[in-house]
Amino acid sequence: MRRIQVLVIDDSALMRKLLTELLSLADDLEVVAAAADPFAAWQLIKQARPDVITLDVEMPRMDGISFLAKLMAHYPIPVVMVSSLTQANCETSLRALELGAIDVVAKPTANVQGGVREMADELIEKVRMAAGARIRRGAPGAGARRPARPARPELAGLGGGAVRTTRDVIAIGASTGGTEALREVLTAFPADAPGIIVVQHMPAQFTAGFAERLDRLCQIRVREAKHGDRILPGHALIAPGGYQLSVVRSGAVCSVAVEDAPPVNRHRPSVDVLFASCARQLGRNAVGVILTGMGGDGAAGLKQMRDAGAHTIAQDEASCVVFGMPREAIAAGAAVEVLSLAQIGPALVARAGRSA
């Protein structure tokens, strides 16, 4: 069987050696070359024709983001970013995902030995997944700001006030490729859309910046969820990385619980945790949506939502970066509808209009 050919790009000789050693632990992966900067990498790409590239963010002569933009425009290849998760690099990594990178792996920092052990499995899994992923070109308009929101009173925080609504709550789960899929879905909503709750698999350092980035693009308000936040029309709550998020209902008032609970399906936050709570607490007053992602997280929870009377949607294979989570949900009989990414936002908006 042909092994997956990998090119490593990093300005640190130590990191190039480490990444090569970690990737070589997998029998189906082969590091065919390593480069210290994008200029050297460009020649190696043409010679070695790798299946996947691992790319550092901070490099001399040309940074990883500038190189990624050129690569996706002229010679698109699956890319896994390897980055130190500083606050600045989190913003940069989100930009890389907008440009078409498949995923991000964190470099080990404080506990180097323990960090390397944790990194190895994640790196191998994400490189394997990238080899079979669909390449997305840089998202058009990804850096644009949102259209002007209609004038309306702003709520001073989401934790207070007995706000009541009979409209559906929309719960969305996503993983690999989900940052851009969510951008496309959420930017379709008008400012008075139903309340939305989102689980996107990503590191803890990413979710606040991810929510802020979406908030700049959407007519709805988007923020990282805090324990006790109300689920309100015109707002989307993003589950914070490293915590589990679930829905709590008291009469007609819905809020979220953010808890330091164990991983489910190896994920924290887990889509299954969110969806299962929607099935219990909301029943037919919820809509469940599962988007692109690796693995099977969310399939069982979406089936529980459907069985409880909720309307459920899975993204179709052709529009997924990785058709893992939606495939498992469809196979489990969890999806009422299977729609392309371009259809999902408009379908949710139309459904909200009918139920208003």
Tens digits of residue pLDDT in 308-331: 999 999 999 999 999 999 999 999
| Cα-based distances in Å from 320 to 35, 37, 102, 160, 338 | 30, 31, 12, 38, 12
Closest by CA to 25, choosing from 121, 126, 115, is 121
pLDDT band at 287 (very low <50, low <70, confident <90, very high): very high
CA angle 226, 200, 168 (to 5 degrees): 70
How much is the pLDDT for 309?
A: 97
Asked if residue 269 has a cis previous peptide bond (ω within 30° of 0), the answer is yes
pLDDT for 107: 81
Give mean pLDDT, residues 276-294.
97
| Distance, CA of 232 to CA of 156 (rounded, Å) | 13
Mean per-residue pLDDT of the chain: 89
Highest mean pLDDT among 109-123, 250-264, 341-355: 250-264
- Of the pLDDT bands very low, low, confident and very high (cuts 50, 70, 90), residue 232 is very high
Domain boundaries of the chain, sorted by first residue: 4-131, 169-355
Stronger pLDDT, 143 or 46, i.e. the higher one: 46
Question: Rounded to an integer, what distance in angstroms lies between the CA atom of residue 335 and that of residue 77?
Answer: 32
- Enzyme catalytic residues: 175, 201, 297
- The string of DSSP codes covering 23-72 is HTTSTTEEEEEEESSHHHHHHHHHHH--SEEEEESS-SSS-HHHHHHHHH
CA distance 324 to 308: 24
Percent of the chain with pLDDT over 90: 75
Least reliable range by pLDDT among 181-190, 201-210, 293-302: 201-210
**Which pLDDT does position 160 carry in this prediction?**
44
Least confident of 77-91, 236-250, 292-306: 77-91
225 pLDDT tier (thresholds 50, 70, 90): very high
- State which CATH number among 3.40.50.180, 3.40.309.10, 2.40.30.10, 3.40.50.720 fits the domain covering 169-355: 3.40.50.180
What fold is seen in the domain 4-131?
Answer: Rossmann fold (3.40.50)
> What's the pLDDT tens digit per position in 69-100?
999 998 999 999 998 766 566 888 899 999 99
Lookup result for tokens 């909503």: 189
pTM across the whole model = 0.89
Residue listed under structure tokens 């007053």: 285
